Amino acid sequence: MPVNRVPLTPLSLLQRTAEVFPTRTAVVYGERRTSYADYYGRVNRLASALRAAGVGTDDKVAILAPNVPMVLEAHYGIPLAGGVIVAINTRLSSGEVAYILEHSESRVLLVDRGLLHVVRPILAQVPGLERVVVGEDPAAGDDDGWRPPGSVSYEAFLENGSPAPLPVPVQDEWETIAIDYTSGTTGRPKGVMYSHRGAYLNTISVIMQSELTRHSVYLWTLPMFHCNGWCFTWGLPAIGATSVCLRAVEPALMRRLIQEEGVTHFCGAPIVLQTLASLPDAERFRFKVPVRASTGGAPPSPTLLQTMTRMNVQVTHLYGLTETIGPNTLCEVQDAWLELDAAAYAKQISRQGVVYLMDGETRVLDEQHRPVPADGVAMGEICMRGNTVMQGYYKDPAATAQAFRNDWFHSGDLAVLHPDGYIEVRDRAKDIIMSGGENIST
């Protein structure tokens, strides 16, 4: 390998943090606190255990679990073994999960015991699945004791590995690090492939645009299966920040953790913000540490924004898709907006904004692929090209060709461009249902 070039991959970022900040807290989950030295050791144990189980280059390893430490460890451990992450939406039906496991050709499944009821009916339908590893999280509650034949607990599986640092196996930054599946109500989900290069660059964007530092504390309200947690799964360890894991979004617990752990950042749909605003004493409550909340989907209302401001929460509006590894634009707040009244301010930040630092180009184009006038009226389709656009749809060249036309990725979202260069979504070129804060294609 040349001395002046190494493949870009998020895997190169964790080792530095473990060496420089070994005693810093990497993960908080209930009463459990894990240092970066221990976190790195567990990641290497997982990677070497996967290798011992036969996982090699480009083998798929699926994850079906809520926001627990196992999933954070897997985001580094699976690719460190040479494998590809397949993070599955925990809201999917058994049939949809079976399709993803089969289509992705996953050889290993990491599953939380609270979701064993989803996989129990389908294991016989996925003959290529060679090993099931069960996360035995006590917080999952009681179950009937059933475990897949031949399965092993996650902690026992780690015992098969070694904490000794493994070399990064990536030879080409265009290798696939993850396949994330879109959600559909009528059509089959499509597997969206992310490269190590794209994941690395979007991780750097997330760190910079979110203003993360080693003193940041991030609450996991955003599902880690959503575009690999918008790359925060890689970005937080890269900078030495702390992850606070949360199995489910429970408003009272969420608020308590933000206050007690000194949380500085969280992400989620506006419904997550609304859960905080709806607590009985929200009008009088204020967090002791300023909190930055990144939200996507429907824009937050002026009333919700006012409530968040009173609670010491600054809201940032983002836009992106599975095909862009999550956020592709954000509404950068201009200083002059801070002098506006609440309604005018809400109107400004409800827009989808400008392109992320590392992402390349995002434009609003007409049917002839010409930029629309920046008048806030002329409508066009949001199109992207650049570092964080997907590699393509897994085993679906026709869908890939349809999405990649005229040297652009076509989002299917219709928008206008304002005179200040900010994009605002107005409609969708394809039908979308909003369900529980998620976009579902029909």
Mean pLDDT of the chain: 94
Please, which pLDDT band fits residue 429 given cuts at 50, 70 and 90? low
pLDDT at residue number 16: 95
Residue 232 has pLDDT above 80, yes or no: yes
Measure the CA–CA gap between 317 and 293, rounded to whole angstroms.
9
Residues 281 and 424 in one domain: yes
Please, which pLDDT band fits residue 438 given cuts at 50, 70 and 90? low
Residue 434 has pLDDT above 80, yes or no: no
What is the number of structural domains in the chain? 2
Residues 185 and 260 in one domain: no
Residue 299 has pLDDT above 90, yes or no: no
Residues 71 and 185 in one domain: yes
Residues 424 and 280 in one domain: yes
- Whether 242 is in a domain gets the answer no
Please, which pLDDT band fits residue 428 given cuts at 50, 70 and 90? confident
Residues 300 and 427 in one domain: yes
- Token pair, residue 333, equals 């707040």
- Whether 120 is in a domain gets the answer yes
Residues 357-388 pLDDT 10s: 999 999 999 999 999 999 999 999 999 999 99
Instruction: Give the rounded percent of residues in the chain with a pLDDT score beyond 70.
Output: 96
- Token pair, residue 319, equals 């836009």
Measure the CA–CA gap between 284 and 310, rounded to whole angstroms.
8
Average pLDDT, integer, range 131-145: 95
| Last residue of one domain, picked from the residues 180, 195, 210 | 195
Residues 188 and 329 in one domain: no
The whole-model pTM stands at 0.95
Residue 441 has pLDDT above 90, yes or no: no
Contacts of residue 261, Cβ cutoff 8 Å, sequence gap at least 6: 28, 217, 219, 242, 244
| Last residue of one domain, picked from the residues 179, 195, 211 | 195
- Whether 64 is in a domain gets the answer yes
Residues 314-370 pLDDT 10s: 999 999 999 999 999 999 999 999 999 988 999 999 999 999 999 999 999 999 999
Residues 167 and 310 in one domain: no
Please, which pLDDT band fits residue 300 given cuts at 50, 70 and 90? confident
Average pLDDT, integer, range 185-206: 92
Residues 190 and 255 in one domain: no
- Whether 18 is in a domain gets the answer yes
Q: Is the dihedral of CA 132, 135, 139, 145 positive or negative?
A: positive
Q: Which of 41-45, 129-133, 253-257, 294-298 has the lowest mean pLDDT?
A: 294-298
Residues 91, 115: contact at Cβ < 8 Å?
Answer: no
Beta strands in 299-396 (DSSP E): 313-321, 326-330, 354-355, 361-365, 379-385, 392-393
SS3 content of the chain, % helix, strand, coil (to 5): 35, 25, 40
- Whether 231 is in a domain gets the answer no
| Last residue of one domain, picked from the residues 155, 171, 195 | 195
Please, which pLDDT band fits residue 286 given cuts at 50, 70 and 90? very high
Q: Which domain holds residue 124?
A: 11-23+35-195
Burial of 149 from C-beta contacts in 10 A (0-12 / 13-18 / 19+): exposed
Any idea what the CATH number is for the domain that residue 273 is in?
3.40.50.12780
3-class state of residue 140 by DSSP: helix
The angle, 0 to 180 degrees and rounded to 10, between the axes of the packed helices 251-261 and 270-277 is 90
pLDDT at residue number 184: 59
